[in-house]
Amino acid sequence: MEFLGYFGGVFEPVAFMLLLGGTIGGLILGATPGLSPTMAVALLIPFTFQLEPTQGLILLGAAYTSTVAGGAVSAILLKIPGAPANIATALDGHEMARKGQGAKALHMSFMASGVGGVLGVLLLIFLTPLLAKWALAFGPSHLFWMAILGVTVIGSLDSRSFVKGLLSGCLGFWLSMIGYDDIQGAQRFIFHDALTGGINIIAALIGIFAIPQVIEMFAKGRVPSSISSLNVERQSLMASLRETFMYKRALAIGTVCGSIIGLIPGVGGQIAGLLAYDQSRKFSPDRDKFGTGHPEGVIAAESANNAMVGPSLVPLLTLSIPGSPTAAVLLGGLLIHGIFPGTDLFDNHPQVAWTFINSMLIGQILMVVFGIWISGWAARVSKVPTPIMAGAVLVLSLFGSYSIQQSMGDVYIMLVLGLGMYLLEKFGFSAAPLVLGLILGPIAEANFIQGSMIANAGDGLIDYFLTGTLNLFLIAMVLASMAYSFWATMIHEPRVAASRAAQTKAEAAE
């Protein structure tokens, strides 16, 4: 309960103003395509030079929390996921916005973010020493099996066709191999300079999600604006609140997935949202509604990606190991003030550590309040006539992919992938499995090669990858997930389809 004593520090005038500023600024930065949470926090580091350590950290922590949630705004309204964490949000969120339920989707996404976020930070407060051990337990072999577990959901992420889902996952895998390989020192598939560093995931996200819809919008041509613009439904706050908490299962799955995956250094929040999305679909009775604008999808994804924020700081704060790129930037923010994370932080600077953690708790709540406040008028974006919207999304995509690292190369990559994805979508392939392949490829590959190098120096491959409780547990999860997919596609769905067909036949006969 030590942390309670440090709540005062959060409400000191300067600290609270910074928290407020960081939250609002973070929401805006997060909603800007191409500005990932990592970039946003890095941009703020120079401002912390002049501040007290605690104040600097409050600013950075607030920005981290709210950029993750802010990414949902562009994911839902424009179908441009601001960061890998928001991919799953775009799947159902954007469909909801297209039905005119943008305000509802945004309300729910911020509320779910708040629930996940607060629980994540509470985990950080109460279970840090325990969690630190857990975070270290994941070695190369376990991360490899984690990635394979992710692979097993690739096929089922595409609700239309299992085989096409797997195929686009493979394509994603291949794309992830482009570039220089740090472990073996090979240069792979570099047929243009822009590819030396591989495909930047954020540029890829923008291209794969935004460009096909831009083309689609332009292809519609001129239509009377009365048809192309949407009716934006007004959404009462109470209704959103009630509905968010109706989906308790999605909230729980999202929060649990997010906190567990957030802990594991190197996997981080990139796949938390997607895994939570997939799991909550598997457990939902309304499985078929996912992908068509179902609130559960948004809630699972957003509660997961904010639940991950707190636990992702555990390895950083206790062991000084940044588990994610954003945590690495935060480490820089600490070091600049001469504070070393680890036992030193909690023993000698408890006021810094606990004020920072408490501010993230308060920050989550502020984030929900301001997020909901902006969602009312942000949702009106959908009212913009299609041709103007298409132009605006295209400009934002170009601007966003350039601003990642001031590189035209990323813009080319974004455009090429976007065009490719448009064609693939014409043939019934979908974007989410491809992106998951792109994210999981490097995790699986690097950890397999690293693991086998370690194994070859030690007890051999079989011993290294196939023994040990955690390995066996993960393998069991992989098998269960595969068995489920097999059951769902080969046995369950044909039976459902058959009974439905029989029903229609019977109806027709009557």
Partner 1 sequence: MRKLFKALAVTALAVTASFSVAKAEGYPDRPISVMVSYGAGGATDFQARIVTMMSGNEELLGQPMVIINKPGAGGRVGWNWLATEADADGYTLGVYNIPHFIAQSIEGGVKYSADSFEPIANWGTDPAVVIVPKDSPYNTIQELIDYAKANPGKVTLSGAGLFVGHHIAALQIEKAADVKLAYIPTKGGGAAAMKAVIAGEVTGGINNLSDAYRAREAGNVKILAIADDERDKDFLPDVPTLKESGYDVDDSSVNFRGIMARKGTPPEVIEKLAKAVPEMFAHKNVAAQMKAGGSPIKIMNREEVAKMWADRQTYLAELLKDLKK
Write out the residues near partner 1 by the rule CB under 8 A: 38-39, 42, 45-46, 49, 136-140, 179-180, 182-185, 187, 193, 196-198, 200, 265-266, 315, 319-322, 325-332, 335-338, 340-344, 405-407, 442, 446, 450, 453-454, 456-458
If the CB atoms of residues 16 and 174 are measured against partner 1, the closer one turns out to be 174
Contact in structure between 300 and 276 (CB atoms under 8 Å): yes
Q: How many Cα neighbours within 13 Å face the side chain of 502?
A: 6
* Positions of E strands within 171-288: 179-180, 187-188
CB of 139 to partner 1, least distance (A): 4
Q: Which is nearer to partner 1, 170 or 454 (CB)?
A: 454
CB of 326 to partner 1, least distance (A): 8
* Neighbour-count burial of 212, counting CB atoms closer than 10 A to its CB (0-12 exposed, 13-18 middle, 19+ buried): buried
Backbone angles phi, psi at 180, to 5 degrees: -85, 135
- DSSP single-letter state for residue 198: -
Which CB atom, from 320 or from 351, has the smaller least distance to partner 1? 320
- Nearest distance in Å: CB 437, partner 1: 17
Min dist CB 322 to partner 1, Å, is: 5
CA distance 65 to 305: 10
Give the nearer residue to partner 1 in terms of CB position, either 11 or 340.
Answer: 340
Q: Return d(Cα 358, Cα 58) in angstroms, integer.
A: 9
> CA 318, 148, 266: angle at the middle one, nearest 5?
25
Least distance between partner 1 and beta carbon 164 (Å): 30
CB of 330 to partner 1, least distance (A): 8
- Closest approach of partner 1 to the CB of residue 461, in Å: 14
* Identity of the residue, 193 or 233, whose beta carbon is nearer to partner 1 in the bound complex: 193
Residue 81 CB, nearest distance to partner 1 (Å)?
20
From 459, 423, 376, select the one nearest 141 (Cα to Cα): 459
Q: Are the CB atoms for 300 and 250 separated by under 8 Å?
A: yes
- Nearer CB in complex with partner 1: 343/503: 343
- Angle, helices 87-98 vs 53-77, to 10°: value is 50
Instruction: Output the smallest distance, CB 251 to partner 1, in A.
Output: 31
Q: Judged by CB, which is closer to partner 1: 335, or 395? A: 335
Identify the residue whose tokens are 């598939």: 189
Rounded least distance, CB 168 to partner 1, Å: 24
Q: Which long-range contacts (CB under 8 A, 24 or more apart) does 192-199 make?
A: 192/409, 192/412, 193/409, 194/407, 194/408, 194/409, 194/410, 194/412, 194/413, 195/409, 195/413, 199/175, 199/413, 199/417, 199/438
Which residue lies nearer to partner 1 by CB, 139 or 376? 139
Three-class secondary structure of residue 160 per DSSP? coil
Residue 181, judged by CB atoms within 10 A of its CB (0-12, 13-18, 19+), counts as middle
Q: Which is nearer to partner 1, 38 or 279 (CB)?
A: 38
> Cβ(188)–Cβ(389) under 8 Å?
no
Nearer to partner 1 by C-beta: 473 or 487? 473
